[in-house]
Structure 1
Amino acid sequence: MFDALKQKWNRKKLTDERFAFLFDAPPENEVVVFDCETTGLDPKRDDIVSIGAVKIRENRILVNEALHIFVKQSRQISHESIAIHHIRHCDLNDAVSIEEAMERFLYFIGSRTLVGYFLEFDLAMINKYIKPMIGITLPNRREELSAIYYDRKIPMIPQGNIDLRFNTIIKDLSLPELQAHDALNDAVMTAMAYLKLTQKHYT
């Protein structure tokens, strides 16, 4: 009841009708897994450098339809950030504006459920740009990978001392480790973990 009222209120606040599809019924058996690489961990102060996203449809990761966007930066990227994601300012010569990146991201996700690791942070970064553009934050349903992992592990470890670090989850699930801190690679690894945790097959 409350969720329905919230969605109705958000729909009224939408200022750009091109994105009314965000409120459509989501496609059956589809979710989008995404990840952002950023200049830091403060959504108010830092910026998005790249976005990676993949769709899961019928328990299959559609890597051939993946989204991988690099975003132009108005400021030099710090050495600390480069040390993490290895994206330098000179690597962004063919990058797009944040406005174009957000539009492409919205058309890609549609009304699908969003899945991610440390999803609250990535959503805060996305919403920082989305709200001024369309008047609302993302209305999509969301699922946090670490929460799903915790729920699966807690019956086996009642004392609750569960390591929720991303690389620990990937290793524990016996999944291949791709190059870390690459937005698309992280999205693909998260998608594999999500499928395994939800007892679905993955490819």
Structure 2
Amino acid sequence: MNVFPWFTRRTPLAAELAARRDRLPDPQPLDDRPLRDQRFVVLDLETSGLNMSRDLVLSIGAVSIHDGAIDLGSQFECTLQRDTGRLSASVLIHGIAPSELAAGVEPAEAMLGFMEFLGDSPLLAFHATFDQRMLGRALKQDLDHRLRHNFLDIAELAPLLCPEAGIRNGGLDEWVDYFGLQVQQRHNASADALVTAEIALILFSRARRQGLESPAALASALTKWQRRQQAPAF
């Protein structure tokens, strides 16, 4: 018996959507090309709650970084069509009206549109584990597709590259304040993706000054730093 019947796609995917899904490119590895030469996609999700096993993706905001700059002409924003009767009180935080959800894009079409925007690029997100889990489950549920793209977590890269800030487990707001940035609207997927991209560019500049010139070098340094953080103190 399936405890969460909405987890498995209930109807077959339309042939046109399945054909588009099957044409999606394989993801790029985090390789040795210079950071400036790598296209990244910065992702933020608004969800019905924080339970990664049961809650739903409600909206997707994403912006691309290319040639060392945010490409404001290359953004993705989408509200998904959802049954508002199943949503928790946490919806009040991001302010997506029930009418917006009722009129949203059919989930399979929304997920496919995002994956086509993403292409083969690696992803950046703040608290990336949450976005990775939620996106991966939504893709499996709505598109019968497995997420294989690499993620880098801005919430972990920031204290690695900026230890002088003294912010170890800070939220997005704390890093926004530390770098003196402004956010158009918090708990809005597109606005949060944009300010996360601004932080990412600052961090990439710090990384290059520390000799971390590529996505592979950055990922390796982050893995080593995370191990040191988890090591028991003697």
Q: What TM-score results when the alignment is normalised by the length of structure 1?
A: 0.80
- Match for 2:184 among 172, 178, 183? 178
* Equivalences for residues 1-203 of structure 1 within 5 A: 17-19=22-24, 21-23=25-27, 28-76=37-85, 78=87, 80-132=89-141, 133-136=143-146, 138-154=147-163, 156=164, 162-199=168-205
Quote how far apart the aligned CAs of 1:86 are.
0.4
Unaligned runs of 5+ in 2: 1-18, 207-234
In the aligned structure 2, how far is the partner of 1:108 from the partner of 1:88? Answer: 25
Q: Which amino acid aligns with 1:47?
A: L
**Deviation digits for residues 68-92 of structure 1 (CA, Å, limit 9, x no counterpart):** 0000112426462232100121123
Quote how far apart the aligned CAs of 1:175 are.
1.2
Residues 153 and 162, structure 1, Cα contact 8 Å, conserved in 2:
no
- The verdict on how the C-alpha distance between 1:22 and 1:199 changes in structure 2, with shifts beyond 3 A counting, is same
Residues 83 and 102, structure 2, Cα contact 8 Å, conserved in 1:
no
SS at match of 1:188: helix
Larger Rg: 2
Residues 50 and 69, structure 1, Cα contact 8 Å, conserved in 2:
yes
- The verdict on how the C-alpha distance between 1:100 and 1:84 changes in structure 2, with shifts beyond 3 A counting, is same
Residues 77 and 88, structure 1, Cα contact 8 Å, conserved in 2:
no
Residues 51 and 184, structure 1, Cα contact 8 Å, conserved in 2:
yes
In the aligned structure 2, how far is the partner of 1:79 from the partner of 1:110? Answer: 32
SS at match of 2:85: coil
Unaligned runs of 5+ in 1: 1-14
In the aligned structure 1, how far is the partner of 2:167 from the partner of 2:184? Answer: 26
In the aligned structure 2, how far is the partner of 1:29 from the partner of 1:73? Answer: 34
In the aligned structure 1, how far is the partner of 2:113 from the partner of 2:179? Answer: 32
The count of residues paired between Structure 1 and Structure 2 equals 181
More off after superposition, 79-88 vs 166-175: 79-88
Quote how far apart the aligned CAs of 1:163 are.
4.6
- The verdict on how the C-alpha distance between 1:25 and 1:165 changes in structure 2, with shifts beyond 3 A counting, is closer
In the aligned structure 1, how far is the partner of 2:99 from the partner of 2:56? Answer: 16
In the aligned structure 2, how far is the partner of 1:161 from the partner of 1:187? Answer: 20
- The verdict on how the C-alpha distance between 1:174 and 1:66 changes in structure 2, with shifts beyond 3 A counting, is same
**Identical aligned residues as a percent:** 25
